């Protein structure tokens, strides 16, 4: 009858450090605490980065090169269709109608009395002029509108793009307007126009949707 093999017992080593159950629990707690610290600090770092990104995203740009400050001409409201006059063309303040033009791309020129109300409500207006056909430029504006971020107060893209009236030619191909401010552009510049929008949105004296 063969003998069952026995597992040799570990030899006693008097120089090996003894670890009590209490010490083992203490070490386990340290490891658990370290793990939770890493998780908490990582979560906090992600949160702070998100907050910083949000703050940066809502900050208004500073003064833009070429930006003009136009003298305020008031904001008197007149009946629709009444002839209006301005000291400065294109107007960025002054006589206006009660109704604003619809935000977005206008298929027909928006009267000055209406787009001044868009400015009064805290929007921006992009005027353009070109010889027909204007399809390429107009498509660029439509692409800009599609990618613009709605402002947070009314969740609206408060941009009106309209062809300028032929009665008052623009000083350049494109003119960006905000209340009492103007920027003349010789060509389409999407980043600059979006920067203009971010700088002036909701800055009109009668902020409204």
Count of positions (residues) in the chain: 209
**pLDDT over 60 (residue 206):** yes
Highest mean pLDDT range out of 19-23, 36-40, 182-186?
182-186
Confidence of residue 15 (pLDDT cuts 50, 70, 90): low
Q: Mind listing the pLDDT tens digit for each residue in 134-156?
A: 999 999 999 999 999 999 999 99
The closest of 79, 76, 107 to 91, measured between CA atoms, is: 76
- What are the CB-based long-range contacts (under 8 Å, 24+) for 129-133? 129/163, 129/164, 129/169, 129/170, 129/173, 130/173
CATH level 3 topology of 68-200: Glutaredoxin (3.40.30)
Q: Flag whether pLDDT at 44 surpasses 90.
A: no
Q: What is the largest CA-CA distance in the chain?
A: 122
- Mean pLDDT, residues 170-195: 98
For the four alpha carbons of 84, 86, 92 and 93, in that order, the dihedral sign comes to negative
* pLDDT of 53 above 80: no
In this prediction, residue 49 has a pLDDT band, given cuts at 50, 70 and 90, of very low
pLDDT of residue 187 exceeding 50: yes
Closest CA to 184 of 87, 88, 86: 88
Residues 6+ apart with CB under 8 A from 95: 73, 74, 76, 78, 84, 85, 86, 113, 116
| Model confidence, pTM | 0.74
Least confident of 29-33, 97-101, 133-137, 194-198: 29-33
Residues 6+ apart with CB under 8 A from 92: 70, 116, 119, 177, 178, 179, 180, 181, 182
Helix, strand or coil, per DSSP, at residue 15: coil
Q: Contact at 8 Å (CB) between 197 and 103?
A: no
When pLDDT is averaged across residues 101-106 and rounded to a whole number, the result is 98
pLDDT > 90: what percent of the chain? 67
Of 28-32, 48-52, 203-207, highest mean pLDDT: 203-207
């Amino acid at each position: 009858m063969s003998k069952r093999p026995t597992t040799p017992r570990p030899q006693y080593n008097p120089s090996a450090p003894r670890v009590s159950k209490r010490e083992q629990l203490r070490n386990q707690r340290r490891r658990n605490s370290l793990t939770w610290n890493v998780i908490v600090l990582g979560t906090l770092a992600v949160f702070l980065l998100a907050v910083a990104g949000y703050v940066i995203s809502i900050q208004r740009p500073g003064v833009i090169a070429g930006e003009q400050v136009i003298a305020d001409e008031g904001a008197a409201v007149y009946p629709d269709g009444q002839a209006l006059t301005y000291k400065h063309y294109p107007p960025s303040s002054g006589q206006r109608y009660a109704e604003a033009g619809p935000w977005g791309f206008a298929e027909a020129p928006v009267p000055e009395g209406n787009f001044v109300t868009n400015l009064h409500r805290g929007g921006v207006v992009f005027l353009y002029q070109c010889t027909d056909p204007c399809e390429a430029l107009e498509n660029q504006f439509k692409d800009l509108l599609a990618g613009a971020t709605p402002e947070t107060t009314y969740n609206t893209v408060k941009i009106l793009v309209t062809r300028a009236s032929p009665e008052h030619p623009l000083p350049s191909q494109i003119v960006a307007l905000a209340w009492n401010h103007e920027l003349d552009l010789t060509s389409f510049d999407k980043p600059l126009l979006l920067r203009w929008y971010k700088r002036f949105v909701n800055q009109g004296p009668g902020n409204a949707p």
